[in-house]
Structure 1
Amino acid sequence: MGKNALSEIKLKLDGYIGQKIHLKANSGRRKTIERTGILEETYPSVFIVKLDEDQHSFKRVSYSYADILTESVELTVFQPDNEQVQVKYIKAT
């Protein structure tokens, strides 16, 4: 699992750069934060989301691939054909 799982998540997100996404992040104590924006860039350890300016007081947020692996962040990508794709790590058997 480990580093290979994180690199698989990064590779999957690389294909969605520039597309609109919806984030649902667990911030502890039964609190969740929902945000929408554009997947702006991926780096070796984190990915950057440019938030919709009219909905949020700050411009960008970053999350690690481990957040997706541990399911503390749920990420849904809006495809151009109005289809929604949820990004998850599914361990291959």
Structure 2
Amino acid sequence: MAKNALLEIKRSLEAHVGQKIMLKANGGRRKTIERTGVLEETYPSVFIVKLDQEQHAFKRVSYSYADVLTDSVQVTVCNDEGQVRITYIQN
């Protein structure tokens, strides 16, 4: 079941490659890291985000689909119709 959930998250992210996204990641010790960038690529286990250069010291970051599944990372896609959050909801 978890494998299907990861595949479902991967497929939903693949539909937004090249679009601007916002990330909220758990930084530990009650810290939340917020980043913006462009979803650059999806791979079998991870996805890559190219960050906005004027705001961040790093050029790219990667997160696993399991991070999205466990809610360690929240991905919000910014498009013309508004913002859509990528999540997995168990039935």
Seq. identity, %: 70
Task: Provide the C-alpha distance between the structure 2 equivalents of 1:3 and 1:82, rounded to a whole number of angstroms.
Answer: 30
Unpaired segments of 5 or more residues in structure 2? none
The answer to whether the aligner puts 1:36 opposite 2:21 as a matched pair is no
**In structure 1, the residue corresponding to 2:66 is in which secondary structure?**
helix
State the TM-score, normalizing by the size of structure 1: 0.94
Residue deviations 1:40-66 (CA, integer Å, cap 9, x gap): 000000000000000011100000000
Tell me the residue number matched to 2:59.
59
Backbone CA RMSD of aligned residues: 0.8
- Structure 1: stretches of 5+ with no match in the other structure: none
CA–CA separation in structure 2 for the residues paired with 1:58 and 1:29: 21
Deviating beyond 4 angstroms after TM superposition, the runs of 4 or more aligned structure 1 residues are: none
TM-score (norm 2): 0.96
More strand by share: 2
